[in-house]
Amino acid sequence: MLIAVAGPYSAPTPEKRQRNLDAMNDAAAEVYRRGHIPVIGANAALPVLDSLDSEDEYEVIMTISLGVVGRCDALLLIGESPGANRERDLIASKGLPVYRSVDEIPAAAS
């Protein structure tokens, strides 16, 4: 499965934002170890955001994140935030699985 990993990203300091992103990347590594393809919307959005001038950071991140997540087969929610909850709601609205722990994700068939 193509599984999005969602969790808080926004934070008051760059260090906290990096810790949040690191947590999503660590969870994505666990998804990969279970045999699935992980994606993180923020990882797709941040390089684009860096190349834009004076854009609404949140809107850019969410537009790209929701576009990526909308193509996934499931979502792993590692923590709630307004953005992560929007990603969760998108997947749930399609009737697709929303996992709250990597242990809930079935191992991929070989």
pTM here is 0.94
16/8 Cα distance (integer angstroms): 10
pLDDT of residue 109: 85
Mean pLDDT of the chain: 95
> Above 90 in pLDDT, residue 84?
yes
Residue identified by tokens 């260090």 is 15
Work out whether strand 2-6 and strand 37-39 pair parallel, antiparallel, or are unpaired. parallel
pLDDT of residue 55: 74
CB atoms under 10 Å from CB of 96, counted, come to 15
If you average pLDDT over residues 39-51, what whole number do you get?
94
Question: Bridge partners of 77?
Answer: 6
User: Taking Cα atoms as reference points, which of 35, 12, 10 lies closest to residue 24?
Assistant: 10
pLDDT of residue 22: 98
39/27 Cα distance (integer angstroms): 10
Q: CATH number of 2-102: 3.40.50.150, 3.40.50.10400, 3.90.1300.10, 3.90.950.20?
A: 3.40.50.10400
pLDDT of residue 110: 72
pLDDT tens digit string along 53-69?
867 899 999 999 999 99
Residue identified by tokens 């993180």 is 40
The percent of residues in the chain predicted with pLDDT above 90, rounded, is 92
Domain ranges of the chain: 2-102
> Above 80 in pLDDT, residue 75?
yes
pLDDT tens digit string along 6-34?
999 999 999 999 999 999 999 999 999 99
